[in-house]
């Protein structure tokens, strides 16, 4: 399964910066055709024919997905008197949830992002939600809370696309249709190619909206979320505005990094944009380092999985070297019992078992997750790699976990299994 056809290391995309600007000026298609059925009916169907029309309803992960949920949606215009109600399936009584709204302009486009935070939910139950706006029923949205037992999740590598987001629509759509029981989506960063572009975000969201359904979504920030419309480094304002990821206790950098539990897994989502955010986020990486050790020590979940956008290896360096920032995280992750580390950024699939940067079959499982968009890079294998597939194929991963087993599988969009790895541990016995 190990490839012998890997080329020179470069993270330069096949498009020049000038081409990127010309492409952005052209705009792009924002409506993705061929949508696969969502597991829960999106609200847009019930709201058709009225104006303004809320869209892109989705559920974002919370720290505890058994008892809480965050539902988001958007509108181009302010909704009149939005009211959000929820109930457990089978109950007649609806409970209200507060609705917050955030306005921001993205690339000249007005955006109203609404959020309803639900609490007091019961684990493993179907929750039925209803939105009212302008005094009228605006539709319904349903999801199932985390039951706390087993977990199946879909892991998508970089989904950034150029020209349109049809590739992302195809990969996410086929994966979601093939794994209807997956309760969680993770996108490993570089969701979009240009984090300041309305057309990029609308392309990503239209594609996601077609297949995410009631699954919980965990966004990981990538370096491309920190690029302005002029391709300068910037604060990830659009990313932070669009996704209400869990708070992390930080005064200045809430949601830049975070953690959450789903099933038997504790996920720790780290920010690796040290270079891009150097001028905008003083102190971010020092506070994240202190938080990381605390976060990993506090969890009682059987499995700890860290999600990083940047990989262990700096593929821009020649010869290849360790990524200087990720190198500071590795000892903390390994000293605090992390079982698996998922990375992205290089748009290729590499798998390793390492301890202190040395191959070790009892070490931490590191997977560089691949590519779910249409930007193809050229990378070469490194001595730490156990598996290094050739780049330029599209893929997604599944994660399946119970108390004693954690399995990752790498699939092509057509469902062909390319690779898998399983970790096992003894169940802890209570006295």
Q: Which is nearer to Fe ion, 39 or 171 (CB)?
A: 171
- Of all residues in the shown chain, the one whose CB is closest to Fe ion is 190
**Min separation Cβ 273 and Fe ion, Å:** 9
- Smallest distance from Fe ion to CB 284, Å: 17
Whole-number minimum distance, CB 195 to Fe ion, in Å? 11
CA–CA gap between residue 81 and residue 131 (Å, rounded): 10
Q: Single out the residue of 374, 376, 358 nearest to residue 366, CA to CA.
A: 358
Q: Is the CB of 132 or the CB of 225 nearer to Fe ion?
A: 225
For residues 189, 271, 240, 44, the Cα torsion angle rounded to the nearest 10 degrees is: 30
Contact residues for Fe ion, defined by CB under 5 A: 158, 190, 222-223, 345
The least distance separating Fe ion from the CB of residue 379, rounded to whole angstroms, comes to 11
**151 vs 313, beta carbon nearer Fe ion:** 313
Q: What is the dihedral of CA 34, 216, 220, 351, to 10 degrees?
A: -80
| Residue 279, φ and ψ in degrees, nearest 5 | -90, -10
Nearer to Fe ion, 214 or 222 (CB): 222
Q: Between residues 223 and 398, which has the closer beta carbon with respect to Fe ion?
A: 223
Q: How far is the CB of 13 from Fe ion (least distance, A)?
A: 9
- Contact status, residue 145 vs residue 122, Cβ threshold 8 Å: yes
Closest distance between Fe ion and the C-beta of residue 68, in Å? 30
- Give 65 or 162: the residue with its C-beta nearer to Fe ion: 162
Q: How far is the CB of 265 from Fe ion (least distance, A)?
A: 24
Name 88's Cβ contacts closer than 8 Å, sequence gap at least 6. Answer: 121, 122, 125, 126, 127, 128
Phi, psi dihedral angles at 237 (to 5 degrees)? -65, -45
* Beta carbons within 8 Å of 102's beta carbon, 6+ residues apart: 112, 113, 115, 241
Q: What are phi and psi of 227, to 5 degrees?
A: -110, 135
Residue whose CB is less far from Fe ion, 38 or 220: 220
For residue 320, the minimal CB distance to Fe ion (Å) is 16
Q: Minimum Å distance from CB 105 to Fe ion?
A: 25
- Residue 419 CA to residue 3 CA, distance in Å, equals 12
Q: Measured from the CB atom, is 255 or 345 closer to Fe ion? A: 345
Distance from first CA to last CA of the chain, Å, rounded?
A: 44
Of 371 and 398, which CB lies nearer to Fe ion in the complex structure? 371
């Amino acid at each position: 399964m190990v490839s012998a056809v890997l080329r020179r290391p470069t993270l330069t995309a096949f498009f020049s910066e000038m081409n990127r600007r010309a492409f952005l000026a052209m705009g792009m298609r924002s409506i993705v055709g061929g949508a696969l059925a969502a597991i829960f009916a999106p609200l847009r169907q019930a709201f058709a024919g009225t104006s303004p029309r809320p869209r892109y309803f989705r559920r974002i992960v919370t720290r505890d997905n058994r008892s809480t949920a965050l539902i988001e949606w958007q509108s181009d215009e302010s909704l009149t008197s939005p009211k959000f109600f929820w109930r457990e399936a089978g109950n007649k009584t609806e409970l209200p949830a507060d609705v917050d709204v955030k306005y921001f302009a993205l690339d000249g486009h007005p955006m109203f992002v609404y959020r309803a935070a639900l609490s007091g939910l019961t684990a493993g139950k179907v929750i039925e939600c209803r939105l009212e706006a302008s005094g009228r029923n605006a539709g319904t949205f349903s999801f199932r809370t985390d039951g706390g037992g087993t977990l199946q999740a879909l892991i998508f590598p970089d989904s950034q696309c150029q020209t349109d987001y049809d590739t992302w629509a195809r990969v996410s759509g086929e994966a979601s249709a093939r794994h209807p029981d997956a309760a969680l989506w993770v996108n490993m960063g570089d969701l979009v190619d240009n984090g300041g572009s309305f057309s990029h975000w609308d392309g990503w969201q239209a594609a996601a909206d077609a297949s995410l359904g009631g699954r919980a979504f965990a966004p990981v920030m990538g370096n491309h979320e920190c690029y302005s419309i002029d391709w300068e480094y910037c604060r990830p304002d659009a990313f932070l505005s669009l996704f209400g990821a869990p708070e992390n206790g930080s005064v200045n950098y809430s949601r830049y990094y975070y953690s959450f539990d789903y099933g038997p897994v504790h996920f720790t989502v780290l920010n690796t944009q040290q270079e891009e955010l150097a001028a905008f986020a003083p102190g971010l990486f020092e506070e994240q380092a202190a938080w990381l050790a605390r976060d990993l020590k506090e969890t009682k979940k059987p499995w700890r999985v860290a999600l990083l956008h940047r990989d262990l290896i700096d593929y821009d360096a020649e010869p290849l070297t360790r990524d200087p920032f990720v190198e500071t995280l590795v000892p903390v992750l390994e000293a605090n019992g992390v079982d698996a580390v998922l990375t992205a950024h290089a748009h290729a699939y590499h798998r390793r078992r390492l301890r202190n940067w040395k191959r070790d079959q009892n070490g931490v499982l590191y997977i560089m997750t691949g590519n779910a968009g249409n930007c193809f890079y050229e990378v070469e294998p490194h001595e730490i790699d156990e598996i290094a597939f050739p780049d330029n194929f599209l893929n997604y991963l599944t994660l399946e976990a119970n108390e004693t087993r954690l399995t990752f599988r790498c699939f092509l969009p057509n469902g062909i299994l390319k690779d898998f790895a399983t970790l096992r541990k003894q169940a802890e016995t209570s006295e």
